[in-house]
C-alpha cells in the first residue's frame, strides 16, 4: 500500500504492508525510509500541521497503538502530513517545482510552493450567477422538442441569450440552437459559424448578449448530474465566456411509480473547476473503479488535486463531478420576445417561407409580428445582417419598421 507523505520539503512516497499497521510502526518505516527520527516526528492528517506554530497540538495521530486505518490512512495513495525539526536530505521522490518559463526545476518545494502548485477542490455554495430566469415559452419549446420529438434519444444543445443585472441575476429571453450533430450519448456543436455571428448580431440589436448554454442529457439511469465529457465542455465554455456563464441541464428520470419525468436545472462550475480548466487538466474522460468499470460521473484529470469533502482530504486525479457543480436557482418570466416561429437547425419542423407568411398575416402591428428571435434569424438568410440589425432594433424599441424593409420582407413571404 502506498502512503504519500507530505512535508515542508515536498511530497514523498513510502510503501507500508497494509492499513492495519499501527502509528508506531508507520513511524518506524518513516525513520527507515525518510531518515526522520521517530522522536522528531509529528504526524497528522491535517495539512495545517505543516504551517502551525504549535504542531505538537495536533493529536489525531498521537496514539502509537492506533491503527493507521482508524486515523483515515486507509486507502492506497492516502496522505499523511509529517512535521519535523531536524535537518534532512529529501529523497529523490520529492516533487520538483514547476517554473512557467523553465519547466521543472530541481529545487525543493516549500509548503507555499506545494499549495500554489496544487488545486484544492472543495464544495462551493455560492454561484457567481445569483439566479437565472427563463422566458417560460422559450424554455418549454426547447424542453418539449427534446422530450416529445427526440425522446431524449439524441443530445441537444442551445445558446442562451438574455441580460444580466448588477446584482448578478441573469435573464434568458431566447434560445438559439446552432448547427449540431447529436447522438444518443453526445453532441458535436459547430462553433463560430456565420450563423453564430448573425445570431450574436441579432441578439445585440434586440438588447441581448450570450449568457449561457443549455444541454439535454441522455435517457439513461444515471446517478450523476453531468458526465466527465459534459463537465469538460461546460468548463471550456465557462472559461471562454466568463464566470457568470450559466448552464441549464434538461434531463429525465424515473420516479417511484416508474414514470419518466423531466428535470430542468441550472448550474455553474466552481472556481476550483475553472482552475483545473485553466491548467488544462480536464481530459474529458471518466474515472474507473477498482474493477476497471467506468464511472461516468467522475472526471479523470491529468494531474492530482487535493479534494476536501467534509473531514476527508485526499490527493486524487479523479474527482466526482458533483464536487465541481454549483446550483443556480431557476425562476421564470414572460418576456417580450416571442417563440412561435419554427426553431432553426431542427429535423422537424423545418423553417419555410410559408411559416414566414403565416407570421406576417397575424393581426398585429408589423413590428410585433417580427418580434420573434427565430423568425428574425430566418430572415438573416435572405437579408444582410446589418440591415436586419436596423429592423431588429426598431422591433426592440417598439418603433415602426421602415417601409422599404416591410416591402422587402413581404416580397420574401410572397405577400407583395
Residue 57 has phi, psi (to 5 degrees) of -80, -10
If one counts every other C-beta atom within 10 angstroms of the C-beta of residue 385, the result is 17
Among 255, 277, 281, 258, which residue's Cα sits nearest to residue 268?
277
Which residues fall within 8 angstroms of residue 12, CB to CB, at 6 or more apart? 4, 5, 34, 90, 91, 93, 94
Which residues fall within 8 angstroms of residue 37, CB to CB, at 6 or more apart? 31, 84, 86
Tell me the C-alpha distance between 161 and 173, whole Å: 6
| Percent of residues, the chain, with pLDDT higher than 90 | 71
Ordered alpha helix ranges (H), 118-193:
136-144
Q: In order of start, what are the domains of the chain with their CATH numbers?
A: 2-117 (3.10.20.90), 131-332 (3.40.140.10), 338-413 (no CATH)
Spatial contact of 231 and 321, defined as CB atoms under 8 Å apart? yes
- pLDDT > 80? residue 135: yes
- pLDDT > 90? residue 100: no
- Rg (the chain; Cα; Å): 28
Strand runs labelled E in 310-380 = 312-320, 325-327, 330-333
Tell me the C-alpha distance between 26 and 69, whole Å: 11
Spatial contact of 297 and 289, defined as CB atoms under 8 Å apart? no
The label of the residue with cell 517545482 reads: 97
Which residues fall within 8 angstroms of residue 214, CB to CB, at 6 or more apart? 142, 157, 158, 159, 160, 175, 247, 248, 249, 250
Which residues fall within 8 angstroms of residue 167, CB to CB, at 6 or more apart? 130
If one counts every other C-beta atom within 10 angstroms of the C-beta of residue 44, the result is 21
Tell me the C-alpha distance between 113 and 356, whole Å: 62
Residue 306 has phi, psi (to 5 degrees) of -95, 120
**pTM for this model (two decimals):** 0.75
pLDDT value of residue 311: 65
pLDDT tens-digit map of 282-315: 999 999 988 888 999 999 999 989 888 766 667 7
pLDDT value of residue 99: 40
Mean pLDDT of 34-42: 92
Tell me the C-alpha distance between 37 and 411, whole Å: 91
pLDDT value of residue 114: 53
pLDDT value of residue 86: 83
Q: How confident is the model at residue 254 (pLDDT cuts 50, 70, 90)?
A: confident
pLDDT value of residue 97: 38
Q: How confident is the model at residue 160 (pLDDT cuts 50, 70, 90)?
A: very high
pLDDT value of residue 291: 84
Instruction: Name the average pLDDT for the chain.
Output: 89
Residue 158, C-alpha cell as written in the block: 442551445
Q: Residue 367's Cα: distance from chain center in Å?
A: 38
- pLDDT > 60? residue 412: yes
H/E segment holding residue 132: strand 131-135
If one counts every other C-beta atom within 10 angstroms of the C-beta of residue 62, the result is 14
The single-letter DSSP state of residue 313 is E
DSSP strand pairing (187-189 vs 180-182): antiparallel
Q: Own/partner pairs for 256-263, CB < 8 Å, 24+ apart?
A: 260/219, 262/143, 262/147
Lowest mean pLDDT among 5-19, 99-113, 171-185, 202-216: 99-113
Amino acid at each position: 500500500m502506498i502512503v504519500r507523505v507530505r512535508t515542508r520539503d515536498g511530497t514523498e512516497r513510502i510503501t507500508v504492508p497494509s492499513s492495519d499497521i499501527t502509528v508506531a510502526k508507520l513511524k518506524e518505516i518513516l525513520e527507515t525510509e525518510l531518515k526522520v527520527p521517530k522522536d522528531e516526528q509529528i504526524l497528522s492528517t491535517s495539512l495545517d500541521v505543516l504551517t502551525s506554530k504549535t504542531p505538537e497540538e495536533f493529536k489525531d495521530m498521537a496514539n502509537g497503538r492506533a491503527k493507521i486505518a482508524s486515523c483515515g490512512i486507509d486507502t492506497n495513495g492516502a496522505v499523511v502530513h509529517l512535521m519535523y525539526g531536524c535537518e534532512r536530505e529529501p529523497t529523490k521522490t520529492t516533487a520538483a517545482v514547476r517554473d512557467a518559463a523553465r519547466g521543472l526545476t530541481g529545487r525543493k518545494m516549500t509548503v507555499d510552493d506545494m499549495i500554489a502548485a496544487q488545486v484544492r477542490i472543495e464544495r462551493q455554495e455560492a454561484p457567481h450567477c445569483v439566479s437565472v430566469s427563463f422566458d417560460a415559452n422559450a424554455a418549454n419549446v426547447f424542453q418539449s422538442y427534446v422530450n416529445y420529438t427526440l425522446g431524449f434519444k439524441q443530445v441537444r444543445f442551445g445558446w442562451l441569450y438574455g441580460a444580466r443585472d448588477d446584482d448578478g441575476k441573469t435573464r434568458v429571453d431566447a434560445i438559439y440552437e446552432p448547427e449540431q450533430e447529436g447522438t444518443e450519448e453526445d453532441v458535436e456543436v459547430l462553433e463560430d459559424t456565420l450563423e453564430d455571428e448573425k445570431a450574436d448580431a441579432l441578439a445585440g440589436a434586440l438588447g441581448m448578449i450570450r449568457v449561457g448554454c443549455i444541454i439535454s442529457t441522455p435517457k439513461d439511469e444515471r446517478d450523476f448530474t453531468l458526465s466527465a465529457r459534459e463537465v469538460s465542455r461546460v468548463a471550456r465554455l465557462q472559461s471562454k465566456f466568463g464566470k457568470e456563464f450559466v448552464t441549464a441541464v434538461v434531463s429525465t428520470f424515473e420516479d417511484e411509480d416508474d414514470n419518466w419525468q423531466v428535470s430542468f436545472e441550472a448550474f455553474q462550475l466552481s472556481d476550483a473547476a475553472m482552475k483545473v480548466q485553466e491548467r488544462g487538466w480536464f481530459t474529458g474522460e471518466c474515472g474507473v473503479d477498482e474493477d476497471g468499470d467506468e464511472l461516468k460521473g467522475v472526471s479523470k484529470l491529468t494531474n492530482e488535486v487535493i479534494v476536501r469533502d467534509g473531514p476527508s482530504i485526499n490527493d486524487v486525479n479523479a474527482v466526482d463531478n458533483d464536487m465541481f457543480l454549483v446550483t443556480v436557482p431557476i425562476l421564470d418570466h414572460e418576456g417580450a420576445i416571442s417563440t412561435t416561429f419554427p426553431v432553426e437547425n431542427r429535423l422537424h419542423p423545418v423553417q419555410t417561407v410559408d411559416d414566414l407568411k403565416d407570421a406576417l398575416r397575424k393581426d398585429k402591428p408589423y413590428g410585433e409580428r417580427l418580434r420573434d428571435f427565430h423568425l428574425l434569424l430566418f430572415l438573416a438568410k435572405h437579408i444582410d445582417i446589418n440591415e436586419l440589425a436596423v429592423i431588429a432594433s426598431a422591433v426592440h424599441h417598439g418603433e415602426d419598421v421602415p417601409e422599404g424593409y416591410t416591402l422587402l420582407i413581404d416580397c420574401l413571404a410572397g405577400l407583395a
